[in-house]
């Protein structure tokens, strides 16, 4: 029993749109299946990553290609992680890499980029996070000279100070997530390897001294913002012979959100569960095939019913009359 859990970044998901705050939901769903495939945004929480042991950490574009049947995922025991950073290299970045080596046994080497990676966040129509990425092609050219299995990126993201302050005070859409997703997709597609990005903390961010929304608290207490990525990439599956879309039993998604993963699953006859409580700024029209549930607790019940081979209708009341087809009826 294998499921996929997606929580797109930059669209203001009520659960998972901040800093790893979908992790409890991921743990719940993971307890209902053998493997739970998720992307970094679900569990990344700056210096924290509490993803379940049976989770597969898969970058968004790789996950799209996987569900579309273009690639398979090969599980590994360990990856050689190359961590690329803009000059100068900060002490907290070195310490974060060393801490991952000393605690989880990760293999991490640091490479200073010759051409800095420039990432600028912006808000589209004041509600969806996006942005621009410069220097990514030069990054690919430089890292191609090295032997590694997964790429971690740590770089600063420029955000309008007013937008950033508004996020900390009022919540809403995380302004950093959109451009991070863009950068990861560009680089992962070019390299065909697992990729994840961590924002380098600004000096202003290190001066945080306030009680934050609990969903944002992981960011406020973090220093290097990097450990979540190193832990995720440590055993992230690579492209290769292994798990395929034919092994997937279900996709769980926020409500009113329809994209490549959803369409791919529908084309393969894979059930798509939309969680009503996880609202976003989107209002996409959902296909009639989507199964709408109230919350992740109900989604977990649906997964357990699938695992037990029990139809949902049989545990609900009223129990409808048995359908009888007459001769010649379609």
The pLDDT of residue 202 is: 65
SS3 (DSSP) at 316: coil
Most distant CA pair in the chain, distance: 78
Q: Is residue 224 part of a domain?
A: yes
CB atoms within 10 A of CB 216: 20
The pLDDT of residue 170 is: 86
Q: Is residue 71 part of a domain?
A: yes
The pLDDT of residue 44 is: 97
The pLDDT of residue 24 is: 98
> For residue 118, is pLDDT > 80?
yes
Q: Is residue 137 part of a domain?
A: yes
Q: Is residue 318 part of a domain?
A: no
Alpha helix (H) residue ranges in the chain: 23-30, 40-43, 60-67, 91-103, 136-143, 161-170, 177-191, 217-220, 227-234, 260-267, 296-308
Task: Read off the pLDDT band of 288 (50, 70, 90).
Answer: very high
How many domains does the chain contain in total?
1
Task: Read off the pLDDT band of 204 (50, 70, 90).
Answer: low
The pLDDT of residue 330 is: 64
Domain that holds residue 182: 2-239
pTM for this entry: 0.95
> For residue 206, is pLDDT > 70?
no
Task: Read off the pLDDT band of 203 (50, 70, 90).
Answer: low
> For residue 271, is pLDDT > 90?
yes
Model pLDDT for residues 210-220, shown as the tens digit of each residue: 888 999 999 99
Give the residue-averaged pLDDT of 267-274: 98
Q: Is residue 104 part of a domain?
A: yes
Contacts of residue 267, defined as CB under 8 A and 6 or more positions apart, other chains included, come to none
Q: Is residue 281 part of a domain?
A: no
Give the residue-averaged pLDDT of 21-29: 98
Task: Read off the pLDDT band of 201 (50, 70, 90).
Answer: confident
The pLDDT of residue 327 is: 82
Cβ(122)–Cβ(130) below 8 Å = yes
Give the residue-averaged pLDDT of 85-104: 97
The pLDDT of residue 217 is: 94
Which residues are 252's β-sheet partners? 5, 273
Cβ(228)–Cβ(219) below 8 Å = no
H/E element, 2: strand 2-5
Q: Give the chain's mean pLDDT.
A: 95
How far is it, in rounded angstroms, from Cα 145 to Cα 161?
37
Give the residue-averaged pLDDT of 2-13: 96
CB-based burial, 132-146: b 16+ in 10 Å, e otherwise: ebebbeebeebbeee
Task: Read off the pLDDT band of 281 (50, 70, 90).
Answer: very high
Give the residue-averaged pLDDT of 213-240: 96
The pLDDT of residue 93 is: 96
Model pLDDT for residues 152-165, shown as the tens digit of each residue: 999 999 999 999 88
Q: What is the DSSP letter of 32?
A: T
Q: Is residue 149 part of a domain?
A: yes
Task: Read off the pLDDT band of 58 (50, 70, 90).
Answer: very high
The pLDDT of residue 59 is: 98
> For residue 167, is pLDDT > 70?
yes
Q: Is residue 306 part of a domain?
A: no
The pLDDT of residue 168 is: 87
């Amino acid at each position: 029993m294998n499921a996929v859990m997606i929580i797109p970044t930059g669209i203001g998901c009520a659960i998972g749109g901040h800093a790893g705050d979908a992790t409890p939901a991921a743990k719940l769903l993971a307890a209902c299946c053998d493997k739970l495939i998720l992307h970094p945004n679900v569990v990344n929480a700056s210096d924290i990553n509490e993803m379940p042991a049976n989770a597969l950490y898969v970058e968004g574009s790789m996950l799209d290609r996987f569900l579309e049947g273009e690639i398979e995922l090969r599980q590994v025991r360990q990856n050689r992680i190359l961590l690329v950073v803009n000059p100068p290299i900060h002490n907290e970045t070195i310490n974060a890499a060393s801490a991952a080596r000393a605690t989880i046994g990760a293999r991490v080497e640091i490479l200073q980029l010759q051409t800095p990676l420039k990432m600028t966040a912006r808000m589209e129509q004041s509600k969806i996070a996006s942005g621009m990425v410069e220097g990514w092609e030069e990054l690919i050219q430089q890292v191609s000279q090295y032997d590694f299995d997964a790429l971690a990126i740590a770089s600063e993201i420029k955000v309008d100070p007013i937008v950033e302050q508004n996020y900390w005070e009022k919540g809403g859409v995380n302004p950093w997530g959109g451009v991070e997703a863009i950068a990861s997709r560009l680089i992962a597609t070019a390299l065909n390897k697992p990729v994840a990005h961590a924002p380098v903390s600004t000096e202003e961010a290190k001066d945080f001294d306030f009680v934050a929304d609990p969903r944002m608290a992981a960011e406020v207490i973090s220093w290097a913002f990097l450990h979540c990525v190193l832990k995720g990439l440590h055993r992230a599956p690579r492209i290769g012979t292994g798990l395929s879309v034919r092994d997937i039993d279900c996709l769980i998604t926020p409500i009113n959100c329809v994209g490549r993963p959803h369409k791919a699953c529908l084309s393969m006859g894979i059930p798509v569960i939309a969680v009503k409580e996880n609202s976003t700024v989107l209002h996409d029209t959902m296909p009639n095939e989507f199964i709408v549930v109230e919350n992740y607790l109900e989604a977990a019940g649906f997964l357990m019913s699938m695992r037990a081979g029990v139809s949902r209708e049989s545990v609900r009341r009223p129990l409808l009359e048995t359908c009888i087809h007459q001769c010649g009826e379609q």
